[in-house]
Copies of this chain bind each other. A is one copy, B any other.
Amino acid sequence: MVAVMHSEHPSAIPQNGRLGRPRSVEADGAILRATREALVELGWSKVTVGDVATRAGVAKTTLYRRWAGKNELVVDAVAVLFDELELPDLGSLAADVESVVLRFAALLDRPETRTALMAVVAEATRDEALRRRIRTAIVDRQKCLVLEGRARAQARGELPYEDDPAAAARNADLIFDVIAGAVVHRTLVSAEPVDAGWARGFTVLLLSGLASLQR
């Protein structure tokens, strides 16, 4: 993975002029850190903006200058964690898939993502801007793992190069929804652990199915 390591404070780019006191640079980081801390302790629904501000040692005003509300704040706070997702080359597609499944499951097992992810997705069903934010901050970051894995497998000769770029994109999306969906559902809805056994079984199912898609 390229590890974009996006800056922790893309929050807003006010800087209308160059006048006045510049924004505290530490504030953004402190706020996001406080948000994650609050999520761990209290869970999504009990986190309050005021409390986050207090934890961050920051006034509510400061926080609202940078984020529109709780939803946006939490998306950004959690998004950082998805930067950790990487796809080390383990030599085979199966190993790569198993690895990413386990890493993704581990990420969803952290209390801050666990409580926040579904909540913001739920909010997003009614809020296009939030949906975009989630997509760019979280979903796209995961989706490129799929693309990267496929490219690597193709380079290895495990998967054929596809002629039709539309079909290729369609397949990538399908695979992405299957992987992410299965892991999320297992973890958050079924509330059962994603262990090595499950990951292996899932990978077998996925790769066999995948093979038949390519034919």
Contact = CB atoms under 8 A, between A and B. Distances in A.
Report, as a range, how many residues of chain A touch the other chain.
35 or more
Interface stretch (A10-18, A27-35, A78-86, A173-181): A173-181
Interface string A194-215: 0000100110111111111100
A178 B213 CA distance: 16
Contacts of A184: 181, 184-185, 189
B139 A188 contact: no
Interface stretch (A1-9, A50-58, A111-119, A152-160): A111-119
Majority-rule SS of A interface residues: helix
A205 B192 CA distance: 23
A129 interface: no
Given A119-B119, A121-B189, A173-B190, A204 B212 contact: yes
Contact of A118 (B114, B118, B135, B178): B118
A184 B185 CA distance: 8
A191 B127 CA distance: 12
Contacts of A124: 191
A1 B189 CA distance: 22
A122 B118 contact: yes
A202 B185 contact: no
B180 A178 contact: no
Contacts of A114: 125
24 contacts: A43-B123, A43-B125, A44-B123, A116-B122, A118-B121, A119-B119, A135-B191, A139-B189, A173-B192, A174-B198, A174-B201, A174-B205, A176-B190, A177-B185, A178-B178, A178-B181, A178-B182, A180-B189, A204-B209, A205-B209, A205-B212, A208-B211, A208-B212, A209-B210
